[in-house]
Amino acid sequence: MRLNENTVIFGDRVLLVPYRAEHVPTYHEWMKSPELLELTASEPLSFEEELEMQRKWHLDEDKLTFILLARPEICSSPNKSMTPEEIRRCKMIGDVNLFLPDGLAGQGECEIMIASKDDRRKGYAVEALQLFLRHLAQHLPLDPLQLIVKIASANIPSIKLFQTLGFGIVKHVKVFDEVEMHYAKPDDADILADLNLDSKRPARDGPKAIWEEIDLQGRIGMYYP
């Protein structure tokens, strides 16, 4: 989607920048990993195919993608912005996507990946999603109730992550062995029991769940690398 082609979103520990050709070599290296291919339900692509995919994602009106970069250190100052030169030096750690198979009136499927195990459990995904979801609600705009995520039933880290952000498990699609989670819906108790999932949810009423109230003022910049 061209909506975000010049947008950067500044978090305290993570930056969201548009997916551009210069990101493809690293992205292509990541997607050689069988673990990531499986967890993101992706097919292996050649470098040329990956480049073509990046071009397509940029233009397709049904996809919105940001690359995630780690800030060198956590930024606690109210001024979150960075110069293009500083942004270029940040480490690429993952991506976050929205897919709109039925356009803006239909469901919006979210997906996130923090590629390296070394970069996980540092709060990058939760912060990136808080900013991303808030950006979608404000700028597409998309009603948060349209947001869903499809996750392999065994992918506990991802299920917990989306529960933290206020998504609930509403469906178990047995043929794909995946669960569907919808924003602002409670977990279906029968599915939790069937899948032997922990019925104790991560805290929902903490700051992670109230991403709808995040103020993006001062966190959005223009990106012209």
Is 202 one of the binding residues for ligand COA (CB under 6 A)? yes
CA atoms within 13 A on the CB side of 27: 26
CA–CA gap between residue 1 and residue 98 (Å, rounded): 10
Min. distance of Cβ 222 from ligand COA in angstroms? 27
Region near ligand COA per CB under 6 A, out of 23-31, 118-126, 139-147, 180-188: 118-126
- Residue 129 near residue 119, CB atoms below 8 Å: no
Task: Give the nearer residue to ligand COA in terms of CB position, either 6 or 170.
Answer: 170
Is 112 one of the binding residues for ligand COA (CB under 6 A)? yes
Give the x/- contact pattern for ligand COA in 19-58, rule: CB under 6 A: --------------------xx------------------
133: nearest Cα among 159, 154, 110: 110
Give the x/- contact pattern for ligand COA in 76-105, rule: CB under 6 A: ------------------------------
| Binder of ligand COA out of 8, 64, 87, 125 (CB under 6 A) | 125
148: nearest Cα among 131, 167, 124: 167
CA–CA gap between residue 56 and residue 155 (Å, rounded): 28
- Residue 58 near residue 2, CB atoms below 8 Å: yes
| Binder of ligand COA out of 100, 126, 136, 137 (CB under 6 A) | 126
CA–CA gap between residue 200 and residue 204 (Å, rounded): 11
Residues near ligand COA (CB under 6 A) are 39-40, 111-114, 120-126, 149, 151, 155-158, 160-161, 164, 202
